[in-house]
Amino acid sequence: MLLFAEINAQNQERAEKSFEKFKQYYSLLYSYYVDTVDFSKIVESAISKSLETLDPHSMYLPPREATSENDRLRGNFEGIGISYNIIRDTLNIMEVIAGGPSEKIGLLAGDKMIKINDTQWAGKSTMKADDYVSRLRGKKGTTVKVAVLRSNKMIDFTITRDVIPIFSVDASFMIDNTTGYIRLNKFANSTPMEVDTAMKKLLASGMKTLVLDLQNNGGGVLTSAVALSDEFIEPNKMIVYTEGIKSPRMEYNSTATGNFKNGKLIVLVNENSASASEITAGAIQDWDRGLIVGRRTFGKGLVQRPFALNDNSQVRITTAKYYTPSGRCIQKPYGDDKNEYRAELYHRIQSGSLTKSDTFKVPDSLMKFTGNKRKVFGGGGITPDVYVPIDTTRNSEYYFQVLRKGVMNNFAADYSSSNKPQLLAKYPNEDYFVKSFVVDSSLLNLLLTQAEKEGVKRSDSGLMASKKLFEVVLKANIGRNLFGSQAFYRTTLELDPMIQKAIILSKENFSKYKVRNE
C-alpha cells in the first residue's frame, strides 16, 4: 500500500504535468490561431468547465457576480436603498428601505423611475435588472440623479448613496398570544443580530412557542447557522462539524448565550431549504430540541471556500462536507452527471414525494440516533419529523397564467400607487390592513379584466378553483406595496399548509414526539 506522502507526490507530479500541458496549449493558441484570441474568455471558460467536473457546487463567479454574492452574504451593499420590480419596461419602486438615502429624500413605494442621470430608461425593453443595478449602485458618498413619475407628475431627486442593509428576516410577528413566527430568507453576516432583535421583541410580546420558517432558504454563512442554532440548543453541544481530506475535522459547539434555550420550537423546511438551513434543522433534530416540520430538505452539504482572483472574480472550491451532531452527512449523492443531480427535485415531484408522502429510502447502514434514541437517517438532506405535502387543491392553470404573465404584481403595483392616499387614510397601519382589507368582487374583476387585456383568457372553472388564491395573493401584494414584506407574509399565512400545521402542533404536547416540550 502506498504511503499518503507518496500519493501526494504522485498527485503533485500529475498536476505539474497537466499545468505544463495547458501552458503549451495557451502558447500554441497565441502563436498560431487564425484570429485574435480573447485569452480572458479562454481562461474563464477553462476555470468554469474544470470546476464543473468536480462536484455540483464548486463554481466560478465573474467579477460582477462575485461582488453581488459577497454583498448578499455580507448583509449590505452601497446604493440608494430601494427594492423594485420591472413592470412594463419601467422600474417600479416596491419598497423604500427604512433609514436609507431614498427614504430620507422622499422617494415613495409606487414611484415609477423614468430617468437615471438625465437619460430616459423607462420603456426600453432591452433594460434588464442588472442594467439598473449597475446605474443605481455605487460607492458611498457618490450621487445619482433620478426622475420619477408620481400621480402623473414628474419629480427630480438627487440621491447620495450610502451603505444599505440586506435583511435576512422577512417577517417576525405573533401568530397568536403565545406563538411567535420568524421567516428567514438566507444566512448572512447580519442574520444573528437580526434574529436576536426579532426574538427579543417576540419574547416581550409573550412568546412561548416559536415557528422558525426556513422554507426556500438556500443557506449562506456557516457561522450564522451556528449562531442561529445556538439560540436554541443548551450549552456545550455540538451543532455541526466539517471534514475533508485536506480539511481537518472542525467542530462548532453551542454556548451559554441564546434567547430561546427553553420553549417549544417548530422549524419549517422544504425541498429548497439547503446548506445552512440544513445545519440548523439537523442540529435541532439530533438534540431533540424541537419538531422539524415539512418536506425533506435539498441535501446540500458541501462546504465552499471562496478564493479571490486577480481581477476580482472568485472561485468557490469545495473543501469539506457538513455533518450533523449524530454524524449524518447532509450532502445527497452525486455523480458525473450534474444534470441528473439538478433534476433530483423533479424526480421527487414525479414520484409523489412532495404531494403524497416521501418515498426516499435509506439503507440501515446510514441510520443514526438522536439524543433521545430516535432513528434518523443520512443519505442526503434532513427528513422532517412531521411530513406536510404541497397543497395543490386551490391551484389552477388559469391562476398560474395570471401569475406567469406578471398581471398580479403589475395590477397590485398600479392599484396601490394610484390609490395610495385613500388606502392609507382608510388603513393607516399594517395591522389594521391585514385584519380589515378585503378584496371584493369588483376589485377582483378589475384584476381579471386586466389579465384578459394582457392575453389571459378568462376561465370560470379556473376562477372557481382558485378564487381564494386570487383574493389572498392580491391582498398580500397590495399590502407589501403599502407596508413592506411582513404584510405580505402575514396575509398569506392562511394559504401555507406548513404554517397551518405548525399552529395545530403548537397546541400539542411535544413529548409524544420525544422532543423538548418547553
Q: List the one residue out of 288, 255, 275 whose CA is nearest residue 368.
A: 288
Domain boundaries, the chain: 76-165, 169-390, 397-483
What pLDDT is stored for residue 4 in this prediction?
Answer: 43
What Rg value do the Cα atoms of the chain yield, rounded? 26
Residue appearing with cell numbers 396575509: 491
Contact 79, 137 (CB under 8 A): yes
E strand residue ranges, 217-294: 238-244, 247-253, 264-269, 291-294
pLDDT in 10s for each residue of the chain, 518 residues: 344 445 566 677 888 888 899 889 889 998 998 998 888 888 889 899 898 889 989 989 988 888 878 877 777 788 898 888 777 778 888 778 777 888 888 888 778 899 999 888 887 767 776 778 888 888 899 999 999 988 778 999 999 999 887 889 999 999 999 999 999 999 999 999 999 999 999 999 999 999 999 999 999 999 999 999 999 999 999 999 999 988 999 999 999 999 999 999 999 999 999 999 999 999 999 999 999 999 999 999 999 999 999 988 999 999 999 999 999 999 998 888 777 887 888 888 888 888 888 777 777 778 899 999 999 988 889 999 999 999 888 889 999 999 888 889 889 988 988 898 999 999 999 999 999 999 999 999 999 999 999 999 999 999 999 999 999 999 999 999 899 889 999 999 999 999 999 999 999 999 999 999 88
What pLDDT is stored for residue 437 in this prediction?
Answer: 98
What pLDDT is stored for residue 83 in this prediction?
Answer: 80
Return the CATH superfamily for domain 76-165: PDZ domain (2.30.42.10)
Copy the grid coordinates of residue 289. Answer: 430540541
Q: List the one residue out of 271, 268, 198, 185 whose CA is nearest residue 504.
A: 268
Give CA–CA dist 517/510, Å, rounded: 5
What pLDDT is stored for residue 9 in this prediction?
Answer: 65
Give CA–CA dist 39/50, Å, rounded: 16
264-269 and 291-294: which strand pairing? parallel
Copy the grid coordinates of residue 128. Answer: 434588464
> Could you tell me if residue 206 is left (phi over 0), alpha (psi between -120 and 50 degrees) or otherwise beta?
left
CB atoms within 10 A of CB 110: 23
pTM higher than 0.75, yes or no? Answer: yes
Give CA–CA dist 212/171, Å, rounded: 10
Residue 245: phi and psi, rounded to 5, are -55, -40
What pLDDT is stored for residue 3 in this prediction?
Answer: 43
Give CA–CA dist 218/269, Å, rounded: 11
Contact 288, 231 (CB under 8 A): no
Contact 417, 481 (CB under 8 A): yes
What pLDDT is stored for residue 135 in this prediction?
Answer: 87
What pLDDT is stored for residue 8 in this prediction?
Answer: 64
Give CA–CA dist 370/139, Å, rounded: 49
Give CA–CA dist 136/142, Å, rounded: 10
CATH fold, domain 169-390, is 2-enoyl-CoA Hydratase; Chain A, domain 1 (3.90.226)
